[in-house]
Structure 1
Amino acid sequence: MSTRDVVEELLRRIAEGDHDRTAELFAEPIDWRLSWPAEGHPAVPWIRPRSSRADVADHFRSLEAHHVPELNGTSVTRILVDGAHAVVLGELAQTVRGGDIAYTSPFALHLTVEDGFVTRYHIYEDSLTVARVHSAHT
Structure 2
Amino acid sequence: MSPQPEADATRAVVQDLLVRLGEGPPERIAELYAEQVDWKLDWPESEHGRSATPWIRHRTTRADVADHYRELAEHHVRGEADTQVERVLVDGEDAVVLGEIRQTAESTKRAYRARFALHLTVTDGLITRQHTYEDSLAVAEAFDESA
TM bucket by the smaller chain? over 0.9
What is the aligned-residue identity percentage?
A: 54
Cα gap change, 1:94 to 1:137, in 2 (>3 Å): farther
Moved over 4 A (4+): none
Q: Which amino acid aligns with 2:80?
A: L
1:101-116 correspondence to structure 2 within 5 Å: 101-116=110-125
How many Å separate the matches in 2 of 1:35 and 1:21?
25
Cα distance in 1 for partners of 2:75, 2:61 equals 21
Q: Normalization by structure 1: what TM-score? A: 0.93
Per-residue deviation, 1:98: 4.8
Question: Aligned residue for 2:64?
Answer: 55
> Residue 110 of structure 1 contacts residue 123 of structure 1 at CA under 8 Å; is this kept in 2?
yes
Number of equivalences: 138
Q: Tell me the C-alpha RMSD between the 2 structures.
A: 1.7
Aligned to 1:9: 16
Is the CA contact (8 Å cut-off) linking 2:108 and 2:144 kept in structure 1? no
User: SS of the counterpart of 2:120?
Assistant: strand
Contact 1:35 1:49 in 2 (8 A): no
Deviation at 1:36, TM superposition (A): 1.7
| 1:1-138 alignment runs, 5 A limit | 2-39=9-46, 40=48, 41-136=50-145
CA-to-aligned-CA distance 1:15-38 (integer Å, 9 cap, x gap): 111100110110121011115231
Q: Which runs of 5+ in 1 are unaligned?
A: none
For structure 2, the residue ranges without an aligned partner over 5 or more in a row are 1-7
